[in-house]
Structures are given as structure tokens and as C-alpha cells.
Amino acid sequence: MPKQVDHRERREAIAHALWRVVEQQGWARATMREVAREAGVSLGQLQHYFSSRTAMLTFAIDFAAEQTSHRVTHGLAALDQPPHPREVLRVVITEMLPLQPDARTTSRMNAAYVLEALHNPDLQAQASLGLREGKAMVERLIRQALADGQIPSDRDPTVETDLILALTGFTPLLELDVVTPQAALAAIDQHLGRLFHPSERPAF
Amino acid sequence: MPKQVDHRERREAIAHALWRVVEQQGWARATMREVAREAGVSLGQLQHYFSSRTAMLTFAIDFAAEQTSHRVTHGLAALDQPPHPREVLRVVITEMLPLQPDARTTSRMNAAYVLEALHNPDLQAQASLGLREGKAMVERLIRQALADGQIPSDRDPTVETDLILALTGFTPLLELDVVTPQAALAAIDQHLGRLFHPSERPAF
């Protein structure tokens, strides 16, 4: 196996160990020492792969974003082709929410990471960039659907993009069982239904 | 001054010290020792007021909720009386978001607290209860507005309540400058405008 691939695999195994620590013990426990213990390597070996805690967190968050992206790609492949933009947005939103174990892990990583980023300028630039890329992707979908007449022309693409992103606000409500997964999905479907077919609101 | 009031004042002063530590250094640094240092008291004195870190965090979060409630009451008093339910919901949502320094502090406290609660059953019960009370308050407003014909009768009160709560999803977007305060307020106003007057959508 080429050396570079092996290096990448080791780093991914360490990122998985970090996720387990965050999932089971919380972000504050995710020290280099604790992650080394969880990964079954020495602190010195860990430091060979990551020179600092910030470098480790940066890699782990990028890797989490990659995993979310894989889940979205997989979800999109399961849709009728070509997929309706409403269905594309539904997959993007639901894969960001803690609705199943993989997504819950990456969701907790992201929430902890935003808080840590407020006190760590290196992480802040990366966190902000990640969110901006997500926003740009949603906005492209909305603008295309507007151009294709799937969203009424009186909707403002910026407002609609921001309202879609804000649906990630279901995260703490789901984590603390204040809203059930079924209720969150019903609300998301209502929101998307009104965006794409505002004149065809179902009667309850 | 009666002893009980003095006790309460000391606890509030310690809660303010805790907030400053969370605001400036992050949640992970909010140890009993660090809060004692920030409050200018000995660790022994701090332990006289709070027997454990969990007891201190519980009080500080309850106190943050009280402060948010005071800000909401103040915001409501500034509205035309009796206030329109759309304006009441606007005040409730905006005071939950990190749009000005006081609200930013309590918002960061809450975000960190939700994450800590996932690994601390005592905090989890309290966090869940606080969110449920907020949800019940929003739902009462929505149901009253439905009964009063201010919201169209084909809207589902549960779905509308959940979509209002999800607007707190603007928190990380505001914290990381991905959405401006102006854009968040514009999106919130659009959402509320459509809830109360869905047939009068402004043309852009």
C-alpha cells in the first residue's frame, strides 16, 4: 500500500476515535491524550499524525463534512432521476440533522466545533468557510428552481436560502427530545411544500 | 439586608463571572476554580454557594433564562398595546438570537449547555424542561392567533410552533458571520408575515 494512503487511513482511524470520544464523553474530553487512548496509539504516535489539537480537530471536522457529503450523495442517488430540487433540499437538510447515528455523530461534532471556533481563530475561519460553502450550494439550487419556474418568481432567493439553513435549528430540539423526528420531518416537508407550491397548501 | 437576599446576590454575581468565563474562554474552561478566580472569591467560598459544578451550571442557566425572559418582557412592553401576536413572536425569537451582547452571552451559555447536557443526565432533564416550556408558550400564542382568525385555519399549530422554534437555527449562522443580523431579521419577518398573512406576500 502506498505510504500516503496508509497515512490517510491512520488519520481517518484517529478521526473516528475522536468522534467516539466526543459522542460518548463530550467535546471537552477530546484531548490529544484521550483520543490517543481511544485510538489505541501512544501520544507520540498521535503527534506524528497531528502536530496539535487544532490540527486534529480541523482534520476531524473536514472528514465529518466529507462523510455528510457522502451521505447526501447516497441519498440523492436513491431519488427518481433527475431529482426534483425540493427532494434534493430535503436530503441535504435531513442529512444535517441528528436523525440517525452517523448524522448524529457529525452533528454533535459540528455543534461543539462552532462553540470552540468562537475562541479559536484558526478553527473560526474553517467553520465559517464550511458554512458559507453549504449556503452557496443551497442558494444555487434555489436560484435554479426559480429560473426553472419551480419556485414562484416573487420569492427572494437570499431569504429562502437563509430560511432553509435555519431549519438546522431542529438539532437541539431533536437532541433533547423536545421535537420527535416525525414532527421535524413533517415541519420540513411543510416548509419545502410551501416554497415550491405555495398555492397548493394542503388543508388539514 | 436579609441574609437570603444576600445569598441570592452572591449567587448571581458568581453566575455573571461564569458567563464571562464562557463568553471569553469557552465552556470547557468554566471550572469551579476558574469561575472562583473570575469572581474574585476563593474556591472554598464558591463551594459555599454551589456544592458542585453541575449545581453552579444549573443555577447559571436558570438565571440566563430569567434574563432572557426579562428582555422579552421589556421588548413586549415597548410594543403597541395590545400587541399583535406576530410582534410578540418576533420579540421572543429575536431575544433568543445572538443579536446584541446580552442575548449573545445567554445564547452561548445555552448552546454549550445543550452539548454538556447530552453527557450529564441532571442537566439534560433541566435543559429539556426549559425548551418544552418555551415550546408550550409559542404554541399557546399560535393556537390563540388561530382561534382569533389571525392565522389561516388551514395551518397546523404543531407544525407552525416547530417551524418558529427552528428559527433559532440562525444562531450559528450569526455567530460565524455567515448571515448578517439584517438578513436574519428579514428572513424571520418573511416567515412571520407568511404565517399571519399568507395571501399578502409582498412582491420583490
Do A160 and A178 form a contact (C-beta atoms < 8 A)? no
Q: Hey, is B41 helix, strand or coil?
A: coil
Tell me which chain A residues have a C-beta less than 8 angstroms from the C-beta of B24.
Answer: 119
CA distance A114 to chain B (A): 7
Can you tell me the distance from the alpha carbon of A19 to that of A2, in angstroms, rounded to the nearest whole number?
26
> Residue A115: its pLDDT value, please?
83
For the record, the C-alpha cell of A20 comes out as 467516539
Do A2 and B90 form a contact (C-beta atoms < 8 A)? no
pLDDT in tens, A125-150: 888 888 899 999 999 999 999 999 99
Tallying the residues shown for chain B, one arrives at: 204
> Residue A112: its pLDDT value, please?
84
Residue A16, classified by CB atoms within 10 Å of its CB into exposed (0-12), middle (13-18) or buried (19+), is middle
Question: Percent of chain B beyond pLDDT 70?
Answer: 94
> Residue B200: its pLDDT value, please?
45
For the record, the C-alpha cell of B153 comes out as 385555519
Structural domain of residue B37, as residue ranges?
1-51
**Co-location of A23 and A62 in the same domain:** no
Query: Where a domain ends, among B30, B51, B72?
Result: B51
C-alpha distance from residue A76 to each of A68, A72, A90, A95, A131 (Å): 12, 6, 10, 11, 20
Tell me which chain B residues have a C-beta less than 8 angstroms from the C-beta of A172.
Answer: 111, 114, 131, 168
pLDDT in tens, A88-129: 999 999 999 999 888 888 888 888 888 888 888 888 888 888
Provide the residue type at A48 as one letter. Answer: H
Tell me which chain A residues have a C-beta less than 8 angstroms from the C-beta of B114.
Answer: 111, 172, 175-176
> Residue B128: its pLDDT value, please?
86
Can you tell me the distance from the alpha carbon of A29 to that of A21, in angstroms, rounded to the nearest whole number?
7
List Cβ neighbours of B2 (8 Å cut-off, separation of 6 or more): none
> Residue B30: its pLDDT value, please?
87
Suggest the residue from A170, A178, A191, A196 to mutate for an interface test with chain B (most B CBs closer than 10 A).
A178
**Co-location of A34 and A69 in the same domain:** no
For the record, the C-alpha cell of B137 comes out as 408558550
Q: Determine whether the interchain pair B114/A111 forms a contact, defined as Cβ–Cβ distance below 8 Å.
A: yes
Report the mean per-residue pLDDT for chain B: 89
**Co-location of A96 and A185 in the same domain:** yes
φ, ψ at B193 (rounded to 5°)? -60, -40
The CATH number of the domain where A85 resides is what?
1.10.357.10
| Residue of chain A whose alpha carbon sits nearest to that of B125 | A176
Tell me which chain A residues have a C-beta less than 8 angstroms from the C-beta of B25.
Answer: 119
**Co-location of B104 and B11 in the same domain:** no
User: Which band of pLDDT confidence, cut at 50, 70 and 90, is reported for residue B5?
Assistant: low
Can you tell me the distance from the alpha carbon of B72 to that of B49, in angstroms, rounded to the nearest whole number?
29
**Co-location of B38 and B90 in the same domain:** no
Interaxial angle between packed helices A181-196 and B157-166, expressed in degrees from 0 to 180 and rounded to the nearest 10: 90
Q: Which residue is it, cell 425569537?
A: B93
Q: Determine whether the interchain pair B204/A178 forms a contact, defined as Cβ–Cβ distance below 8 Å.
A: no
Q: Determine whether the interchain pair B154/A128 forms a contact, defined as Cβ–Cβ distance below 8 Å.
A: no
**Co-location of B78 and B114 in the same domain:** yes
Report the mean per-residue pLDDT for chain A: 89
User: Which band of pLDDT confidence, cut at 50, 70 and 90, is reported for residue B126?
Assistant: confident
**Co-location of A107 and A190 in the same domain:** yes
Q: How many domains does chain B have?
A: 2
> Residue B139: its pLDDT value, please?
97
Chain-centre distance for alpha carbon B152: 28
Can you tell me the distance from the alpha carbon of B155 to that of B176, in angstroms, rounded to the nearest whole number?
33
Mean pLDDT, to the nearest integer, of B37-49? 95
Task: Considering only CA atoms, give the Rg of chain A.
Answer: 19
Chain-centre distance for alpha carbon B182: 20
> Residue A92: its pLDDT value, please?
95
Do A128 and B178 form a contact (C-beta atoms < 8 A)? yes
**Co-location of A85 and A1 in the same domain:** no
C-alpha distance from residue B129 to each of A44, A46, B27, B115, B157 (Å): 44, 41, 21, 15, 20
Task: Considering only the beta carbons, identify the residue of B28, B112, B203 that sits closest to A154.
Answer: B203
Chain-centre distance for alpha carbon A121: 21
Can you tell me the distance from the alpha carbon of B24 to that of B190, in angstroms, rounded to the nearest whole number?
34
**Co-location of B156 and B142 in the same domain:** yes
For the record, the C-alpha cell of B20 comes out as 464571562
pLDDT tops 60 at residue B12: yes
List Cβ neighbours of B83 (8 Å cut-off, separation of 6 or more): B76
Task: Considering only the beta carbons, identify the residue of A27, A118, A162 that sits closest to B179.
Answer: A162
Task: Considering only the beta carbons, identify the residue of A116, A187, A201 that sits closest to B163.
Answer: A187
Can you tell me the distance from the alpha carbon of B111 to that of B172, in angstroms, rounded to the nearest whole number?
9
> Residue A62: its pLDDT value, please?
87
User: Which band of pLDDT confidence, cut at 50, 70 and 90, is reported for residue A203?
Assistant: very low
ipTM of the complex: 0.88
Q: Determine whether the interchain pair A191/B114 forms a contact, defined as Cβ–Cβ distance below 8 Å.
A: no
**Co-location of B165 and B188 in the same domain:** yes
pLDDT in tens, B76-104: 999 999 999 999 999 999 999 999 888 88
Tell me which chain A residues have a C-beta less than 8 angstroms from the C-beta of B27.
Answer: 28, 115
> Residue B24: its pLDDT value, please?
83
**Co-location of B76 and B30 in the same domain:** no
List Cβ neighbours of A81 (8 Å cut-off, separation of 6 or more): none
pLDDT in tens, A26-80: 777 889 999 999 999 999 999 999 999 888 988 888 888 888 999 999 999 999 9
pLDDT tops 60 at residue A12: yes
CA distance B82 to chain A (A): 29
pLDDT tops 50 at residue B192: yes
CA distance A46 to chain B (A): 22
Q: Determine whether the interchain pair B128/A176 forms a contact, defined as Cβ–Cβ distance below 8 Å.
A: yes
pLDDT tops 60 at residue A21: yes
The CATH number of the domain where A36 resides is what?
1.10.10.60
CA distance A119 to chain B (A): 6
